[in-house]
Amino acid sequence: MVDESRAHADAAAADGRTPGVTESWDPPAEAPHVTSNGNGTTSVNSAPQEKSAKQLRKRYRRDKELEAYQVELLKLQKHLEAMGLKMIVVFEGRDAAGKGGAIRRVTRYMNEKHYRVVALGKPTDEQRGQWFLQKYVTQFPRAGEMVLFDRSWYNRAMVEPVFGFCTEKEHQDFLRGVVGFEKDLTRQGTVLVKLYFSVTKNEQQRRFDRRRDDPLRQWKLSEVDVQAQDLWDEFTERKYEMLRRTHTTATPWTVIRSKDKHRARLNAIKVILDAVDYAGRDSHLDFVPDPEIVVSGAHEVELMEAERIRGGKFRT
């Protein structure tokens, strides 16, 4: 049976690096590729070595670019603790849209005592008899804490209706009630950031293919993934309805174009940082999100409606 809220790998893992420590970097040596020419001679092909070194340099530059903003996340975390503020960051989007990778970059150096990553699985029999939002409310932050939801109560807006895990009445009741719920939440002082990671159909397929072919990533490929491409249009319809009905001035959606994973991660961090006016912000950094990557939920709805008028259907 398909799990309606499949958790990614532990999003709080630090990728093998020690928090707060900047590691030195030196591309590892790699043996050149030696080819026999069949006449007793050999030739040396340095392409694999050059490609590997180039990839490592690119990754190093990207990590260094993120580091400056990861330092800012530590300042934000300290501010939340000092002021006793509560912060919730919701990560939503299709499978393979880049939610888990973004969460890992956000939390990479953060103080583990003051943040949690929540990825809830299939509801228990007890939870099925409760108010739908109850299992999420019990995971909400305490004073001074940030909680990051790897999928959230918005399962009921997209995944559940697409796979038949809820009735249409339950789906509509959720859409009618969640706006008031979130307004009450923010009115009582909780900072709420809602991020929707948007990936193209072709890019999603490419990532699924990589998961299937790479032994280190095969664990990520689920039954949900297998069906995601066939159900693309259904998910798109639910995405449109969710953004149209739950994007408000008080609790807006921010859409992150995630085809370029690095730019998506960097801009997601910027959106999180911009949600709180914390002390000690580095005036030399650019905190303005890239408009090619970040759009408001309201603008995404407008773009989708224009797309449907031109082509007769949604595509994104």
DSSP 274-307: HTS--TT--TTS--SPPTTTEEEHHHHHHHHHHH
Give me the amino acid identity at 280.
G
Q: What is the pLDDT of residue 2?
A: 43
| Dist. CA 236–CA 7, nearest whole Å | 21
Query: Which residue type sits at 40?
Result: G
**Euclidean distance between CA atoms 30 and 53, whole angstroms:** 9
- pTM score, two decimals? 0.83
The H helix count followed by the E strand count for the chain is 11, 8
Res. 40: pLDDT tops 50: yes
Residue 2 CA to residue 88 CA, distance in Å, equals 27
Which amino acid type is present at position 69? Answer: Y
Q: Is the pLDDT of residue 174 over 50?
A: yes
Whether residue 7 is predicted with pLDDT greater than 90 in this model: the reply is no
Query: What is the DSSP pairing of strand 115-118 with strand 146-150?
Result: parallel
Structural domains present in the chain: 52-311 (3.40.50.300)
Dihedral class, residue 288 (left if φ above 0, else alpha if ψ from -120 to 50, else beta)? beta
Burial of 89 (0-12, 13-18, 19+ CB in 10 A): buried
Give the pLDDT confidence of 107-124 residue by residue, as tens digits: 999 999 999 999 998 888
Read off the pLDDT of each residue in 165-173 and give the average, rounded to a whole number. Answer: 96
**pLDDT (mean) for 47-51:** 65
Instruction: Tell me the Cα Rg of the chain.
Output: 22
Per-residue pLDDT reduced to its tens digit, 235-268: 999 999 999 999 999 999 999 999 999 999 999 9
pLDDT over 60 (residue 16): no
Q: Which two tokens stand for residue 120?
A: 């809830």
> Which pair of structure tokens corresponds to residue 251?
């609790």
- pLDDT band at residue 39 under the 50/70/90 scheme: low
Each residue of 145-166: pLDDT tens digit? 999 999 999 999 999 999 999 9
pLDDT at residue 44 is higher than 80: no
Q: Say which amino acid occupies 316.
A: T
The pLDDT score that the predictor gives to residue 123 is: 84
Pick the closest to residue 264 from 55, 103, 109, 70 (CA basis): 103
Please state, in angstroms and rounded to a whole number, the distance separating the CA atoms of residues 265 and 258: 8
184 pLDDT above the threshold of 70: yes
Report pLDDT for 128: 86
Least confident span in 29-38, 127-136, 305-314: 29-38
- Separation between Cα atoms, residue 311 and residue 304, nearest integer Å: 10
Least-confidence region, from 50-59, 78-87, 151-160, 246-255 = 50-59
- Span 185-190, mean pLDDT? 98
